[in-house]
């Protein structure tokens, strides 16, 4: 069996082929021992290729030799393959944004990627600030709660400042994330409101950096991948809206969080 693994900072993603079909599976990176024993128990004679920051930590725990490949190249190969399979080829020229624990931004031209930017604001920021503000640790619970929250209780919009007069930019834009301080003091927001606003902050930082790079590199399409989009339509909507606002086309690739693992699989 051919197996590709992307051992990231938070999640370990596995892609493998059985009877000509592609399968996916993920573990928390802190459960790396469990992942290694699952791999050992589940496959006879595997051909394994690993990528990601925790490649070496994982390879050491396997009882078979594993090849390693460079993460950025594997991710590019994997996403190109996934997009082709979905009959949605990415073309010759695009930007991709990997929102993992942190965020990494790449420009792809003629199949070659170049890392053009990034930010420490990513999926880990949601989990970290989310925990500090609400004491919640479970990703699915955090996302679920956020979907019931209302950012209007926390974030200051342009129209809140331009009280009664016509603002020079859309009144619906965020003027200040977490900026409704006077109201926050009077009436503390609920945990769901805070979590929704954290997602807003993360999404708006990422889309601001990404869209400026798309303009700079003259790329029309921005492909967003990474497990941070898992079960998180709110993050997707924010990023989609702002990407369209600057006239670029956002693309959220199905199973995009497995791009690195698929790229590693292709390199076995």
Rounded to an integer, what distance in angstroms lies between the CA atom of residue 174 and that of residue 185? 19
Please give the sequence-ordered ranges of beta strands (E in DSSP) within the chain, or none if there are none: 2-7, 11-18, 21-28, 47-51, 66-68, 93-99, 103-109, 112-119, 156-157, 174-176, 221-225, 249-252
Catalytic residue among 18, 44, 60, 71: 71
Helix (H, G, I), strand (E, B) or coil at 246: coil
Part in contact with ligand ATP (CB under 6 A); list of ranges 36-44, 97-105, 165-173, 205-213: 97-105
3-state secondary structure 87-125: CCCCCCEEEEEEECCCEEEEEEECCEEEEEEEECCCHHH
- From 128, 134, 131, 122, select the one nearest 193 (Cα to Cα): 134
Residue 11 binds ligand ATP (CB under 6 A): yes
Residue 122 binds Mg ion (CB under 5 A): no
Mask 211-240, x = binds ligand ATP (CB under 6 A)? ---------------xxx-x----------
Size of the site for Mg ion (CB under 5 A): 2
Residue 145 binds ligand ATP (CB under 6 A): no
Mask 38-57, x = binds ligand ATP (CB under 6 A)? ---------------x----
Residues 6+ apart with CB under 8 A from 261: 4, 5, 6, 13, 14, 15, 24, 51, 78
From ligand ATP, Mg ion, none, interface partner of 139 (C-beta below 5 to 8 A by class): ligand ATP
Part in contact with ligand ATP (CB under 6 A); list of ranges 7-15, 181-189, 192-200, 208-216: 7-15
Nearer to Mg ion, 150 or 231 (CB): 231
Rounded to an integer, what distance in angstroms lies between the CA atom of residue 181 and that of residue 140? 28
Residue 192 binds Mg ion (CB under 5 A): no
Residue 256 binds Mg ion (CB under 5 A): no
From ligand ATP, Mg ion, none, interface partner of 203 (C-beta below 5 to 8 A by class): none
Please confirm, yes or no, whether 182 is among the known catalytic residues: no
Annotated catalytic residues are: 71
Site residues (vs ligand ATP, CB under 6 A): 8-11, 28, 53, 100-102, 123-124, 126-127, 139, 226-228, 230, 257
């Amino acid at each position: 069996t051919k197996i590709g693994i992307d051992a990231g900072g938070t999640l370990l993603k596995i892609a493998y082929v059985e009877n000509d079909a592609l399968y996916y599976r993920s573990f928390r990176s802190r459960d790396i021992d469990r992942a290694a024993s699952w791999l050992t128990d589940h496959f006879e004679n595997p051909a394994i290729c690993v990528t990601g920051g925790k490649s070496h930590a994982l390879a050491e725990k396997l009882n078979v030799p594993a090849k390693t490949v460079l993460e950025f190249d594997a991710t590019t190969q994997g996403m190109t393959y996934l997009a082709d399979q979905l009959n949605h080829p990415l073309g010759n020229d695009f930007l991709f944004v990997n929102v993992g624990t942190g965020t990494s931004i790449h420009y792809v031209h003629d199949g070659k990627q170049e890392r053009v930017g990034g930010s420490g604001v990513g999926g880990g920021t949601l989990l970290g600030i989310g925990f500090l503000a609400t004491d919640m640790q479970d990703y699915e619970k955090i996302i679920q709660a956020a979907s019931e929250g209302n950012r209007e209780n926390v974030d200051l919009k342009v129209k809140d400042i331009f009280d009664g007069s016509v603002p020079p930019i859309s009144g619906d834009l965020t003027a200040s994330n977490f900026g409704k301080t006077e109201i926050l003091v009077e009436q503390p927001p609920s945990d769901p409101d805070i979590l929704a606003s954290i997602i807003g902050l993360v999404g708006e930082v990422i889309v601001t950096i990404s869209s400026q790079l798309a303009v700079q590199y003259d790329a029309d399409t921005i492909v967003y991948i990474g497990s941070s989009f898992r079960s998180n339509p709110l993050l997707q909507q924010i990023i989609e809206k702002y990407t369209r606002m600057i006239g670029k086309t956002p693309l959220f690739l199905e199973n995009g969080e497995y791009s690195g693992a698929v790229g590693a699989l292709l390199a076995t």
